[in-house]
Amino acid sequence: MGLLQFLKRIEPDKKKNPLLHTAYDAFFTFAYTPNRVNKGGVHIRDGMDLKRLMVHVVLAMQLCYLFGTYNIGHQHFVAAGQYLGFLDGFHLKLAHGLIKMLPMFVVTHVVGLGIEFLFAAKKGHEVEEGFLVTGALIPLIMPPDLPLWILAIAVAFAVVFGKEAFGGTGMNIWNIALLTRVFVFFAYPGEISGDSCWVSGYDSLAAGSTAEYGWWHTGFFNSIFGAFGWPQFAAAKTMVVDGFSGATPLALAYQGGMEAIQQHYTMDQIFWGGIPGSIGETNKPFIILGALFLIFTRVASWRIMAGMVLGVGVTGMLFNAWGFNAFMMVPWYYHYVLGSFLFAMAFMATDPVTASGTNKGKWIYGFFIGVVGLVVRVLNPAYPEGWMLAILFMNSFAPLIDYFIVQSNIKKRTSRV
């Protein structure tokens, strides 16, 4: 218990230095669960608390992190026509992925947690855990080459206006991670839409443009790789090959339906990842594993996920029946693995704060995310993917769904005589 005594001794004064105390308290409760006991109500409590809940969501997306980081590097070299096998040039791909991913992760947390700490100190609260999950989600839903200053502004906007303005964790109306993304989407559309943003490390994807490497590539990693005698990063040799577009399957589907997709990607590729896209969403098996983990541990609501699957299925079938254009004719079951449906289902829609609060409402909420998301995906040429907008849209409607469910319960009770 030496650590405990040490920590207790260095506790700063709360009145004199509130910010420092808040930071200390956050760290202390991170290290130790407090010695508080139940008073006045139940005498024993469930071992689950908000920290534990949040950390399990973060655990569930670790595989996505691993794959996403590596895939950043993979896409970089695929564009140059080098190391086309997925595991070829493993060290280079991983190094490039880390160079892109780590700064995003750090910036997200420095900005987001910094704001959390400031507000917690101002309000005299403890630091709440909400940002643990939000901060882990944000890098996964961004394109790999997003400038860090845009990321910082977006995170600051989402945390201040999306969350703290409403009163902190548990009070927000919209999903914070998606609010961050939607901010980038509308304020800097060039950075997050189109075909070129999903491949990192090049100024443009025009044929012949060479890779842009910084000190971390050429100085840090090259010296390590050189010491081992492994291939090194070489900007001059790494240039975009002819005919590479970087288009995502969904962008292709909009142009020519299933056929256009199959010209570029096999179904296996779409399922197993290794294709351009937002960092965390490309590998479906890992997302499914995460979703199953969340359901098994009862951390996330299976009702929302089931509702979404149902919503996409029904809408997809309707589109198939309608069959107006090539995209509508994409068989409905392919919509489950295309784009970021699974990622949105497992990690985005299940956020309990912004979802419907009643178990019945969760079915409706999930179902309509499925419907709206697919409508946006298939029918709207401006937005290749619909989940971000669908979830934010249904976030706004979740209180209304709850209102009707609660009112029907009240009506049932008052009419019972």
Partner 1 sequence: MIAMAFLLNSFLVFGQGAITPNWVMYSILGVLIVSGLSALVGLTGKLIEMEGQKHGIQLQHEGWFTKLLNQFTGETKSSNHHKLSRGFDILLNGGISDYTIVARPVSRVALKPQNFVGISPIPKVVVEVGQNVKAGDEIYHDKKHPEIKYTSPVSGEILEVRRGEKRAISEIVILADKDQVYRKFSVPSADADRAALVNFLCETGAWTWINERPFDIVPHVETTPKNIFISTFDSAPLAPDNNLVVAGQEADFQGGLNVLARLTSGKVYLGLDGSKKTQLSPAFTAASNVEIHYFSGKHPAGNVGVQIHHIAPITGSDKVWTMNVQDVIALGKLFRTGEVNRRRVVAITGNEVKKAQYVSTYCGASIAELTQDNVQSGNIRFVSGDVLSGKQVAADGFMNEGDDQLTVVTEGDFYELFGWLLPISPRPSVSGTYPNRFFPNMKFDANTNTHGDKRAFVVTGQYEEVLPMDIYPQQLFKAILSQDVEQMEGLGINELSEEDVALCEFVCTSKQPLQQLLREGLDYMRTEA
Residues that bind partner 1 (CB under 8 A): 3-4, 29, 31-53, 55-56, 126, 128-130, 167-171, 296-299, 301, 303, 317-318, 320-321, 323, 332, 352-353, 355-359, 362, 402, 405-406, 409-410, 412-414, 416-417
CA distance 248 to 139: 18
Q: What are phi and psi of 108, to 5 degrees?
A: -55, -45
Q: Which is nearer to partner 1, 75 or 356 (CB)?
A: 356
Least distance in Å: CB of 86 to partner 1? 33
Radius of gyration for the alpha carbons in the chain, expressed in angstroms and rounded: 23
Which residue bears the tokens 């829609």? 349
Q: Which is nearer to partner 1, 37 or 227 (CB)?
A: 37
Distance of CA 416 to the CA centre of its chain: 46
Q: Which is nearer to partner 1, 152 or 292 (CB)?
A: 292
3-state secondary structure of 61: coil
Q: Which is nearer to partner 1, 150 or 160 (CB)?
A: 160
Least distance in Å: CB of 163 to partner 1? 12
Q: What are phi and psi of 202, to 5 degrees?
A: -125, 150
Q: Which is nearer to partner 1, 132 or 184 (CB)?
A: 132
Q: Which is nearer to partner 1, 55 or 160 (CB)?
A: 55
CA distance 278 to 72: 9
CA distance 189 to 201: 19
What contacts 3, CB < 8 A, 6 or more positions away? 31
CA distance 339 to 280: 11
| Nearest partner of 131 among 101, 159, 166, judged by Cα | 159
Residue 59: Cβ-neighbour burial (10 angstroms; 0-12, 13-18, 19+)? middle
Least distance in Å: CB of 171 to partner 1? 6
Least distance in Å: CB of 126 to partner 1? 6
CA distance 151 to 400: 32
Least distance in Å: CB of 199 to partner 1? 37
CA distance 365 to 317: 19
Q: Which is nearer to partner 1, 128 or 191 (CB)?
A: 128
CA distance 376 to 382: 9
3-state secondary structure of 14: coil
Least distance in Å: CB of 193 to partner 1? 32
Cβ proximity of 336 and 307 under 8 Å: no
3-state secondary structure of 414: helix
Residue 325: Cβ-neighbour burial (10 angstroms; 0-12, 13-18, 19+)? middle
Least distance in Å: CB of 402 to partner 1? 7
Q: Which is nearer to partner 1, 214 or 331 (CB)?
A: 331
Q: Which is nearer to partner 1, 230 or 302 (CB)?
A: 302
Least distance in Å: CB of 55 to partner 1? 6
The secondary structure element, H or E, covering residue 417 is none
Least distance in Å: CB of 329 to partner 1? 11
